[in-house]
Structures are given as C-alpha cells and as structure tokens.
C-alpha cells in the first residue's frame, strides 16, 4: 500500500502556527497600547485648544469693551475686538470638536483591543488551535476597522507615548508584585 504523501505532522506545524499567532497577538497588543496612549495625549491637546477657543473670545470681548482699554488705547481695543470675533468661526471651521470625538472613540477601541489581544495571547492560546484562531479573527477585523479612519496625531505625541511606556507608566501593579519588581 502506498504512503499518503499528503499527510503532514500537524503537531509541529500547529505549534509553529500557534507560536506565530501568539507573537502577533502580543505585537498587536503593544501597537494598540502605543496608539491608544498617543491618541490620549493628542486628545488632551485638542481639549486644551477647545477650552482656549471657547474662553479667550469672552476674555477678549470683555477687554475690548472695558472703558479703560477703549479710552487709553483704542488700538488694543480694536485688536481685542478682532480676536473676540475671529476665534469662534476659526474654531468652528477647524472641526476640532469632531476630531475630539473621533480620537476619543478610537482611543477607547485601541485600549479595548490592547487588552483583548493580550488576553488572546495569554489565555486563548491554550485552547485548541482552531478555537484560538477563531477567537483572534474578530480582533484582527476590529483592528482593521478602527485603522480605516487614518487618524494621524503629531509625531511628538507618539514619542511622548513611547517614553511613557518605556518608563513603565502603564505596567499593572499586579504583574509587578507577581514578578517581584516595583517602580517608583
């Protein structure tokens, strides 16, 4: 009887595939961690811009109508009036409020995906490979969906996020206690 040459040693190939999928889950968890932190940092800046653009027109309007400024320096009164009237439409045209919502939703999704990929690598990887693969497929689909928006915060936000992660700002106390390490 002839040997079936189609047979393969599935245990070795599955172990290799499992290890590759675990590595990819860990990579994606790290990517999600950096991205969510980057988005959060940029969100803080956008929120500051929003506060500035909402508050300064009120202050400039008050200064423009203040008799002491208007009488002693009409030029400054004119400048304050101009700023009080130009900032609100410029802010509206910038779509900052819409961007804040976009980044808020994406940061939340990347944070959730970070944890789900970590759980897949640590927990689901112990299931039979077909179940492990089935558990990760929806995660990769969610990742593709959230990346379609192509949100691009400034590079310095990523550099700050990377610095925070390298300094272990986002390490779990439980993991540090378990490993016997602590950070100040």
Q: What is the pLDDT of residues 100-140, one digit of tens each?
A: 999 999 999 999 999 999 999 999 999 999 999 999 999 99
Greater pLDDT, 12 or 108: 108
Distance separating alpha carbons of residues 135 and 149, to the nearest angstrom: 24
Establish if 178 belongs to a structural domain.
no
User: Which residue range(s) make up the domain with 138?
Assistant: 25-161
Residue % of the chain over a pLDDT of 90: 66
Going by the DSSP 8-state scheme, the letter that residue 127 receives in this structure is S
Give the chain's mean pLDDT. 87
User: Domain tally for the chain?
Assistant: 1
On whether residue 82 sits in a domain, the answer given is yes
Pick 179 or 64 by higher pLDDT: 64
Confidence of residue 8 (pLDDT cuts 50, 70, 90): very low
The pLDDT tens digits for 137-146 are 999 999 999 9
Answer yes or no: is 126 within a domain: yes
Answer yes or no: is 101 within a domain.
yes
138 falls within a domain: yes
In a domain, residue 170? The reply is no
Q: What is the pLDDT of residue 145?
A: 96
Residue 113 belongs to a domain: yes
The 10s digit of each residue's pLDDT in 132-178 is 999 999 999 999 999 998 899 999 999 999 999 888 776 666 666 66
Retrieve residue 108's tokens: 């939340």
Q: Are 33 and 169 contacting, i.e. CB atoms less than 8 angstroms apart?
A: no
Q: Is residue 132 part of a domain?
A: yes
Higher confidence at residue 117 or residue 3? Answer: 117
Side-chain-side CA neighbours of 108 within 13 Å: the count stands at 5
C-alpha separations of 128 from 78, 123, 131 in Å: 73, 11, 5
């Amino acid at each position: 009887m002839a040997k079936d040459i189609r047979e393969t040693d599935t245990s070795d190939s599955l172990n290799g595939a499992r290890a590759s999928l675990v590595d990819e889950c860990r990579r994606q968890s790290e990517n999600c961690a950096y991205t969510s932190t980057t988005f959060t940092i940029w969100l803080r800046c956008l929120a500051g811009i929003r506060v500035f653009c909402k508050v300064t027109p009120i202050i400039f309007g008050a200064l423009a109508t203040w008799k002491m400024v208007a009488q002693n320096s009409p030029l400054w009164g004119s400048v304050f009036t101009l700023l009080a009237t130009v900032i609100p439409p410029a802010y509206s045209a910038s779509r900052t409020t819409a961007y804040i919502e976009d980044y808020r939703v994406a940061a939340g999704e990347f944070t959730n995906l970070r944890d789900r990929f970590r759980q897949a690598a640590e927990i689901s990887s112990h299931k039979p490979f077909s179940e492990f693969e089935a558990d990760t497929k929806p995660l990769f689909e969610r990742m593709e969906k959230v990346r379609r928006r192509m949100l691009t915060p400034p590079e310095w936000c990523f550099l700050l996020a990377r610095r925070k992660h390298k300094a272990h700002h986002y390490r779990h106390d439980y993991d540090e206690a378990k490993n016997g390490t602590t950070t100040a």
